[in-house]
């Protein structure tokens, strides 16, 4: 499939309109392509091809209907011939690029003098067609110059009209070059530019592997542009047969898709295969499975191995195909060093690359290595070292004996899996602990915790020493709280904490995963075509990271400094991640208290009518019509029975309510007001 804006593959309908604008003839090409080119006289030509025959249309003068481009649809009305070309099921990114090329090339060629019929006949050139060259800087420049001229001419005309002082409407003079068939007023158009966000080489290689039809898994550390690329991939595939999914609602939301579970319709997948197949054959669900040609799965690190195997078997069965995954092309993305799958019960959840079907299905593994989120190379190296558990703290002897020894012990304890738990943690600095209120420390990664760690035992160095102990653990030792991923999710109150035994947090995950990759789970050398594909190449890329990176004081202080960055969007602050629920609750209480308004509580029963004073804290109590059920519901809900809120409070949804509207588990917002008449939160005005 073409990505250069010259061609689109899609369904095409050609309609011939009569003088009344009614369709007099219609031709449907279900699987076709439209190609932009030039004939022997350099006229713009649209060539349609359905695999057998082609037909050409001159694109001298046309009108575009582009309202549904994002849905992969568009109409080109060719004005002189009264013909309509309706494009549908186009990869939206391809369609957008095609229309941009068509418009700009058309505008750029308006300045060229058109040959008369006589001149054409006299030229006696043989018929030809050549695909147009992709958009270049000179095309853009030409059109921008035309626009500037048209704009200047427009202003001059306006001034002349005003000077005439007649107030009568005078037609704006319009030279040939400035006229745009797409919109009547070219002077209002913004200055054009070539797309600035081009894929880098690695990303382009992944896209081309995807467009070649292979099943592709691509990974990369945080900020390497996985999501950026995924959106581009989605835009390059036909919308009707492409299903975008992710393991979590939040991730699904980012790519405008649904959760993988909702696509598959087999619940948790723990039922026997026959039952799962029946579930997948329900109306509505079966249609997903049968119409899907390309399945995108984002945040695949959270997809559990058994579930992946189940999906693979169900796909073959419902699609009546013996091909892996029933012939569906899989495009899978994620970072196994980030969040692991959720364990249920005592069984340790396995990563999907450990499943039986993974090797059978995945044809290409690729890794993005260029970090696009940051530019500071030393900071990137540090993050990469932390990612694989290879950061070693470089401490001077002085700090090791200082007053922070208590802090050190404490953090060392944590790093070694000896975390004494909440009770013992109050003994942390031997009386130096600033107390629970200030406890916004180590694990509570967030933006401003270092600032709040003001107690003596909380000196930066001590903390970082502790932290260093944590980071310095080899992969094998990484069983303690340092594997923050799981604790973190516990902190979020999402019920994802698999407990200490199932601790398969990022570090641990990465280790197993990298070990597995090196141990033959790799799909083999032939398929290892991508940059950083699994196996030796991939290990080579990691080599600089395998030797521990020294975390010097300079690095430490820069890291500490970065904690003061204020990260905020639309009043919604960056979420602080905590290792323990208690810390979450204390932090939330503190923050709520810091907001203006008194603390005289006003309890609102979520199920009862009535209005309340809106100042100060508002307390919502969850009740159920069946009081006997309340206990069970409360026990299973990640949110406490009583919810205290104030205007200005930062809130996070803990349930997927409406993925399409972005109301997903993890969506954040800020309370802007309380409704006096209604109860509950039926109107979320702002959230991200
Ligand atoms: N080719 C590119 N050109 C310009 N910007 C890019 C490119 N690739 C990525 N970026 C930018 O880099 C940043 C990080 O990208 P993105 O969020 O997709 O990374 P990620 O790998 O998904 O990270 P994470 O694992 O943390 O979700 C984004 O701001 C994105 O717009």
pLDDT tens, position by position, 483-536: 333 232 333 333 333 333 333 333 333 333 333 333 333 333 333 333 333 433
CA-335 nearest atom, ligand 1: 25
**How far is the centre of ligand 1, averaged over its atoms, from the C-alpha of 543 (Å)?**
24
Residue % of the chain over a pLDDT of 90: 29
Please indicate whether residue 204, judged by its CB atom, sits closer than 6 Å to ligand 1.
Answer: no
Please indicate whether residue 529, judged by its CB atom, sits closer than 6 Å to ligand 1.
Answer: no
Q: Residue whose CA is closest, atom 7 of ligand 1?
A: 225
* Local confidence band at 411 (pLDDT 50, 70, 90 cut-offs): very low
Please indicate whether residue 481, judged by its CB atom, sits closer than 6 Å to ligand 1.
Answer: no
CA distance 372 to 37: 36
SS3 125: coil
pLDDT tens, position by position, 610-633: 334 445 788 888 777 777 777 777
**How far is the centre of ligand 1, averaged over its atoms, from the C-alpha of 223 (Å)?**
5
Please indicate whether residue 67, judged by its CB atom, sits closer than 6 Å to ligand 1.
Answer: no
Please indicate whether residue 489, judged by its CB atom, sits closer than 6 Å to ligand 1.
Answer: no
Predicted confidence at residue 182, as pLDDT, reads: 42
CA-200 nearest atom, ligand 1: 1
Please indicate whether residue 470, judged by its CB atom, sits closer than 6 Å to ligand 1.
Answer: no
Residue of 525 and 126 predicted with greater confidence:
126
CA-368 nearest atom, ligand 1: 21
Please indicate whether residue 335, judged by its CB atom, sits closer than 6 Å to ligand 1.
Answer: yes
Least confident of 45-59, 359-373, 452-466: 452-466
Predicted confidence at residue 73, as pLDDT, reads: 94
Each residue of 654-681: b (16+ CB within 10 Å) or e? bebeebeebbbbbbbbbbeebeeeebeb
Computed on alpha carbons and rounded to an integer, the radius of gyration of the chain in Å comes to 31
Residue of 612 and 416 predicted with greater confidence:
612
* Local confidence band at 396 (pLDDT 50, 70, 90 cut-offs): low
Structure tokens of 550? 């020294």
pLDDT tens, position by position, 304-359: 999 999 999 999 999 999 999 999 999 999 999 988 888 777 778 889 999 999 99
**CA 489-495-496 angle, 5° bins:** 50
Residue % of the chain over a pLDDT of 70: 65
With a cut of 90, say whether residue 156 has pLDDT above it: no
pLDDT tens, position by position, 562-591: 777 777 888 888 888 877 778 888 888 888
pLDDT (average), residues 629-639: 75
Q: Where are the alpha helices (DSSP H) in 44-136?
A: 92-109, 117-123
When mean pLDDT is compared over 261-270, 344-353, 393-402, 472-481, the highest value belongs to 261-270
pTM exceeds 0.80 for this model: no
**How far is the centre of ligand 1, averaged over its atoms, from the C-alpha of 180 (Å)?**
36
Please indicate whether residue 232, judged by its CB atom, sits closer than 6 Å to ligand 1.
Answer: no
Report ipTM for this prediction.
Answer: 0.97
Predicted confidence at residue 290, as pLDDT, reads: 94
CA distance 658 to 284: 18
Three-class SS string for 611-669? Answer: CCCCCCCEEEECCCCCHHHHHHHHHHCCCCCEEEECCCCEEECCCCCEHHHCECCCCEE
**CA 56-57-62 angle, 5° bins:** 155
CA distance 479 to 35: 57
pLDDT (average), residues 361-368: 94
CA distance 109 to 142: 9
């Amino acid at each position: 499939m073409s990505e250069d804006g010259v061609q689109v593959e899609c369904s095409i309908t050609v309609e011939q309109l009569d003088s009344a604008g009614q369709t007099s003839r219609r031709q449907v090409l279900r699987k076709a392509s439209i190609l932009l080119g030039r004939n022997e006289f350099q006229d713009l030509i649209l060539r349609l091809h359905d695999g057998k025959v082609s037909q050409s249309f001159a694109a001298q003068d046309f009108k575009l209907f582009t309202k549904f481009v994002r849905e992969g649809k568009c109409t080109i009305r060719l004005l002189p011939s009264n013909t309509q070309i309706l494009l549908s099921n186009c990869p939206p990114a391809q369609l957008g690029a095609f229309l941009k090329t068509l418009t700009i090339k058309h505008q750029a060629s308006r300045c060229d003098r058109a040959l008369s019929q006589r001149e054409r006949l006299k030229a006696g050139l043989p018929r030809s067609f050549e695909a147009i060259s992709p958009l270049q800087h000179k095309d853009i420049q030409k059109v921008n110059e035309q626009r500037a001229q048209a704009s200047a001419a427009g202003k001059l005309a306006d001034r002349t009209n005003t000077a005439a002082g007649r107030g009568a409407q005078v037609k704006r003079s319009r030279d040939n070059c400035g006229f745009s068939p797409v919109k009547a007023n070219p002077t209002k158009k913004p200055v054009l530019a070539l797309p600035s966000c081009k894929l880098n080489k690695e990303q382009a290689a992944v896209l081309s592997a995807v467009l070649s039809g292979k099943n592709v898994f691509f990974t990369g550390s945080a900020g390497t542009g996985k999501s950026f690329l995924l959106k581009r991939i989605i835009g390059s595939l036909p919308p009707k047969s492409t299903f975008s999914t992710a393991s979590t609602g939040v991730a699904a939301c980012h790519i405008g898709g649904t959760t993988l579970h909702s696509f598959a319709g087999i619940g948790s997948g723990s039922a026997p295969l026959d039952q799962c197949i029946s579930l997948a054959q329900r109306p509505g669900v079966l249609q997903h499975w049968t119409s899907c040609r390309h399945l995108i799965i984002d945040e695949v690190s959270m997809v559990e191995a058994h579930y992946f195997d189940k999906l693979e078997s169900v796909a073959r069965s419902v699609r009546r195909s013996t091909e892996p995954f029933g012939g569906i092309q899989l495009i899978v993305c994620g970072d196994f060093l980030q969040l692991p799958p959720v364990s249920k019960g005592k069984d340790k959840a396995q990563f999907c690359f450990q499943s039986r079907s993974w090797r059978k299905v995945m044809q290409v593994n690729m890794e993005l290595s260029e970090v696009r989120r940051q530019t500071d190379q030393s900071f990137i190296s540090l993050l990469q070292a932390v990612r694989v558990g290879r950061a070693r703290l470089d401490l001077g002897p002085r700090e090791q004996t200082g007053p922070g020894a208590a802090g050190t012990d404490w953090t060392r304890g944590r790093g070694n899996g000896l975390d004494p738990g909440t009770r013992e943690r109050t003994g942390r600095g031997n009386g130096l602990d600033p107390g629970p209120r200030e406890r916004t420390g180590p694990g509570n990664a967030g933006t401003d915790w270092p600032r709040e760690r003001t107690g003596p035992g909380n000196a930066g160095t001590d903390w970082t020493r502790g932290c260093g102990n944590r980071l310095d653990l080899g992969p094998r030792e990484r069983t303690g709280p340092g594997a923050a991923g799981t604790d973190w999710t516990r902190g979020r109150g999402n019920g994802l904490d698999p407990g200490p035994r199932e601790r398969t947090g990022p570090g641990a995950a990465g280790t197993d995963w990298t070990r597995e990759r090196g141990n033959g789970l790799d799909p083999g050398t032939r398929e290892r075509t991508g940059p950083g594909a699994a196996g030796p190449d991939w290990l080579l890329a990691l080599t600089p990271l395998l030797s521990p990176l020294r975390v010097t004081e300079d690095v430490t202080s820069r890291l500490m400094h970065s904690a003061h960055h204020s990260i905020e969007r639309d009043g919604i602050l960056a979420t602080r991640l905590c290792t323990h629920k208690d810390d979450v609750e204390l932090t939330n209480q503190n923050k709520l208290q810091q907001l203006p308004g008194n603390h005289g509580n006003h309890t609102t029963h979520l199920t009862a009518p009535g209005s309340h004073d809106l100042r100060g804290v508002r307390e919502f109590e969850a009740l159920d019509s069946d009081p006997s059920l309340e206990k069970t519901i409360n026990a299973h809900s990640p949110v406490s029975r009583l919810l205290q809120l104030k205007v200005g409070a930062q809130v996070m949804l803990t349930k997927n309510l409406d993925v399409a509207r972005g109301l997903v588990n993890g969506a954040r917002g800020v309370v802007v007001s309380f409704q006096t008449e209604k109860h509950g939160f039926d109107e979320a005005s702002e959230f991200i």
